[in-house]
């Protein structure tokens, strides 16, 4: 009976994904990743892509309870959104089931991939951040630990068969998004932008080492996403609010915070070019999450979002942007907006189901030409 229910859910997900993405210019409803031959996906990262690992470490976190998941799931799954994440829409495009969280007991589907991402995770280990007087308060499952999990998983479940190489040739490895929390924790604890900017080379080096390890595991197609325009997020717009109009750009995003993300992304892209030279037989693609998010902000009307509330949290309370660090989404008394489909931000930090779908569509269209697909 459980298998039947799971199969019905999977079929429903594919149908819903097709219907939802039909309105998107990127047309992921055509199963573009499936046509490209992607049969397996492995995910490393943080809350942007965690499908349930943090809630196994700490069942009390807010993403473990309603209203998280309310748009799509009957119960909260640990996804930090009202519905699906970017990686969920990737699996729909590949005609795969949603990725199981690695820490789930008895994962349902091993052949289609695995999710090692943990909400709150950092690129740098906690002890390295501590040496810089930065705490990692949510989890110690940083990128290096996730890679250890992947190594253990591969040794026990994937690469002990003769068709391992064939599987990896049809596999997509998502190395991130990761690194955003390294900067978040530093900024939220009073570090200056100049101090945080000094973290960028170390964070990018950790991501490079992760990509190198993944290549060592046999990866042949890798996407390494960059950071988002954090200066456009309700959390940052609230915490760094200023009366200086010159601090904001034409989309009312904080310029200096976006410049930090741009600096990280430029450094990351340069590092990926170096990796491509070292591994010419591996397809290494930069995931431009920054541009995908900005595209949504620049097209709020045509995409069906409400321009008046585009930079307000849907689930939140307080101030101009409906966000308060002391009363976050999921805590008692914090309301949810009447129509989440009009909002880009779910809780001030993470995006809504609808925004995630549009970003996934944009990103898939952007990365596919670089994937060297062999269409049937």
Task: Check if the beta carbon of residue 52 is closer than 8 Å to that of residue 104.
Answer: yes
CA angle 309, 87, 188 (to 5 degrees): 55
* Whether pLDDT at 1 is above 70: no
Nearest to 326 by CA among 188, 129, 124, 224: 188
Q: What is the DSSP string of 182-242?
A: HHHHHHHTT--HHHHHTTHHHHHHHHHHHHHHHHHTT-SEEEEE----GGGSHHHHHHT--
Q: Which residue has the higher pLDDT, 1 or 198?
A: 198
Q: Which residue has the tokens 């990351």?
A: 268
Residue 283 pLDDT greater than 60, yes or no: yes
Instruction: Please determine, for residue 226, whether its predicted confidence score (pLDDT) is greater than 50.
Output: yes
Q: Give CA separation, 170 vs 42, 55, 92, 180, 247, in Å.
A: 11, 30, 16, 29, 46
Per-residue pLDDT tens over the stretch 138-152: 999 999 999 999 999
Q: What per-residue confidence (pLDDT) applies to 373?
A: 82
Note the pLDDT tens digit of each residue in 250-260.
Answer: 999 999 999 99
pLDDT for 201 equals 98
316: DSSP letter:
-
Catalytic residues, by residue number, are 47, 347, 350
List of domains in the chain: 2-370 (3.40.50.1110)
Q: Answer whether residue 104 shows pLDDT above 70.
A: yes
Instruction: Give the residues across from 40 on adjacent strands.
Output: 171
Composition of the chain by helix, strand, coil, percent to 5: 45, 10, 45
Per-residue pLDDT of 36-90, as tens digits, reads 999 999 999 999 999 999 999 999 999 999 999 999 998 899 999 999 999 999 9
Q: pTM to 2 decimals? A: 0.91
3-state secondary structure of 278: helix
What pLDDT is attached to residue 312? 97
- Name the band, by pLDDT with cuts 50, 70 and 90, for residue 288: very high
Q: Identify whether the C-beta of residue 142 lies closer than 8 Å to the C-beta of residue 136.
A: yes
Are residues 75 and 69 in contact, defined by beta-carbon separation less than 8 angstroms? yes
Q: How far apart are CA 353 and CA 24, in angstroms?
A: 13
The fraction of the chain above a pLDDT of 70, given in percent, is: 88
Q: Residue 354 corresponds to which tokens in the numbers above?
A: 């609808």
């Amino acid at each position: 009976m459980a298998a039947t229910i799971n199969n019905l859910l999977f079929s429903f997900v594919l149908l819903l994904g097709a219907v939802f993405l039909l309105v998107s210019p990127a047309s992921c409803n055509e199963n573009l990743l499936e046509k490209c031959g992607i049969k397996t996906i492995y995910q490393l990262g943080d809350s942007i892509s965690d499908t349930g690992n943090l809630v196994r470490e700490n069942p009390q976190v807010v993403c473990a309870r309603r209203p998280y998941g309310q748009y799509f799931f009957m119960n909260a799954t640990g996804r930090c959104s009202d519905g699906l994440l970017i990686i969920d829409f990737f699996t729909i495009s590949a005609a795969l089931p949603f990725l199981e969280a690695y820490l789930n007991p008895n994962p349902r589907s091993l052949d289609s991939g695995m999710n090692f991402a943990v909400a709150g995770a950092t690129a740098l280990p906690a002890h390295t951040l501590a040496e810089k007087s930065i705490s990692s308060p949510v989890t110690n499952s940083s990128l290096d630990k996730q890679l250890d999990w992947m190594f253990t998983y591969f040794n026990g479940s994937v690469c002990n068969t003769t068709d391992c190489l064939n599987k990896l040739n049809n596999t997509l490895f998502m190395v991130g998004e990761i690194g955003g929390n390294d900067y978040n924790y530093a900024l939220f604890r009073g570090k200056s932008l100049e101090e945080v900017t000094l973290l960028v080379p170390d964070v990018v080096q950790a991501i490079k080492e992760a990509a190198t390890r993944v290549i060592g595991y046999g990866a042949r197609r890798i996407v390494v996403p960059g950071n988002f325009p954090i200066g456009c997020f309700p959390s940052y717009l609230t915490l760094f609010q200023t009366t200086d109009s010159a601090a904001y750009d034409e989309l009312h995003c904080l310029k200096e915070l976006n410049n930090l993300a741009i600096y990280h992304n430029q450094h990351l892209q340069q590092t990926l070019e170096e990796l491509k030279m070292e591994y010419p037989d591996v397809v290494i693609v930069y995931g431009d999450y920054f541009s995908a998010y900005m595209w949504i902000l620049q097209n709020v009307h045509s995409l069906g979002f409400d321009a008046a509330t585009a930079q307000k949290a849907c689930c939140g309370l307080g101030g101009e942007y409906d966000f308060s660090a002391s009363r976050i989404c999921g805590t008692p008394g914090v309301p949810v907006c009447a129509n989440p489909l009009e909002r880009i931000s779910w809780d001030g930090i993470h995006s809504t189901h609808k925004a995630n779908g549009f970003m996934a569509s944009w990103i898939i269209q952007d990365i596919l030409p670089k994937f060297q697909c062999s269409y049937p």
